[in-house]
Amino acid sequence: MSEQPSADWRRTGERIDTLIAASASGGTVARERSEELVRLVVDFYGAGLERLLDLVHEHGTLDDEVLAALAGDDLVASVLLVHGLHPYDVETRVEKALESVRPYLGSHGGDVELLAVTDDGAVRLRLLGSCDGCPSSSVTLKLAVRGAVEAAAPEVTSIEVEAAAEEEASGPVVPVDALFTRLHGAAEDSASWQSVPELSAVEPGAVVRFTVEGVAAVGCRTGADLFAFADRCARCEQPFDGAALTRRLGGAAGDGVLRCAGCRAHYDVRRAGTCLDAEGLHLDPLPLLSDGAGVSVCVPATVAT
């Protein structure tokens, strides 16, 4: 049996919404009937799915490994979520989502802590650490956290952020007033996460150039950590054709310096692409999520061309 790509299923969902909206042209009654039809079909299949899980459980085959497999499949997990049958509760899913972005946050000198998930669906977070001087960190960190939480728990209604007390003097990783307060906030903060298969195969020390959503990008891996940036050197403004990833002289194991083949400028990939040769210059980082099964990259509006 062939497997339909997840993007196709998402388009199917969008098409259903479009058809329901179009039915409104026939008047209120027509729209209500369309919505009732969809609701009845969803309830019918939901009851079947619930009974299916009950039967699997009764036969002793619904173990932790199977539950993890169900939760790890985007299509299956989304269907179970619609029917309230997801094997993991909201708090567990949010924590797993934050765990997936911690390596990325760490590359910017930050971290995030889940404080609570309230009964009304609000997520309370505490941002830790400090950013290493990258002007675009606020945008990239915000998109990374938002994208991870939204994908894992779309029913979350809001996210409340507070800074750790010890950070108040120097400021949090992401200014609280700049971070979103609702999951479905302003359109300018919306993010479309795209799978980039070639990044999964990048070896430590390697550099790969790719295109995502029409935006040229460059990716590299130092140790176990992946990083992605817009494919443009901040000093010579040329693509990173022939760029190399090296270790900083006297640096610790795992340090990574991206060197432009054209102007020989050096950028610290763990400090959000800060230029080591010219003060004030930096690369444009792209939010990156790795869940073990694949790698996705988001192109912020400030980077898209």
Per-residue pLDDT tens over the stretch 195-236: 888 888 888 889 999 998 888 999 998 887 888 899 999 999
Strand 193-195 vs strand 295-298: parallel, antiparallel, or unpaired? antiparallel
The CA-CA-CA angle for residues 92, 94, 98, to 5°, reads 115
Task: Give the 3-state secondary structure of residue 285.
Answer: strand
Residues 212, 298: Cα–Cα separation, whole Å:
8
For 58, counting Cβ atoms within 10 Å of its Cβ (0-12 exposed, 13-18 middle, 19+ buried), the class is exposed
Question: For position 169, what pLDDT does the model report?
Answer: 38
Per-residue pLDDT tens over the stretch 155-204: 888 877 665 554 443 333 333 333 333 333 433 445 567 888 888 888 88
In 3D space, the residue among 163, 300, 278, 145 whose CA is nearest the CA of residue 229 turns out to be 300
Query: What is the b/e burial string over 173-207, where b = at least 16 CB atoms within 10 angstroms of the residue's CB?
Result: bbeeeebbeebeeeeebebebebbeebeebeeeeb
> What domains sit in the chain, N to C, each tagged with a CATH number?
6-82 (no CATH), 90-191 (3.30.300.130), 194-298 (2.102.10.10)
pLDDT band at 102 (very low <50, low <70, confident <90, very high): confident
Q: What are phi and psi for residue 270, nearest 5 degrees?
A: -80, -15
Q: Could you give the maximum distance between any two Cα atoms of the chain, in Å?
A: 73
Residues 156, 275: Cα–Cα separation, whole Å:
38
* Global model pTM greater than 0.85: no
Residues 159, 153: Cα–Cα separation, whole Å:
12
Q: Give the 3-state secondary structure percentages of the chain, helix then strand then coil, rounded to 5.
A: 40, 20, 40
Token pair recorded at residue 222: 């130092």
Residues paired with residue 297 on neighbouring β-strands, in sequence order: 194, 288
In 3D space, the residue among 219, 225, 222 whose CA is nearest the CA of residue 283 turns out to be 219
Question: For position 305, what pLDDT does the model report?
Answer: 41
Per-residue pLDDT tens over the stretch 117-153: 888 888 888 777 654 444 445 555 666 777 778 778 8
Per-residue pLDDT tens over the stretch 83-98: 777 778 888 888 888 8
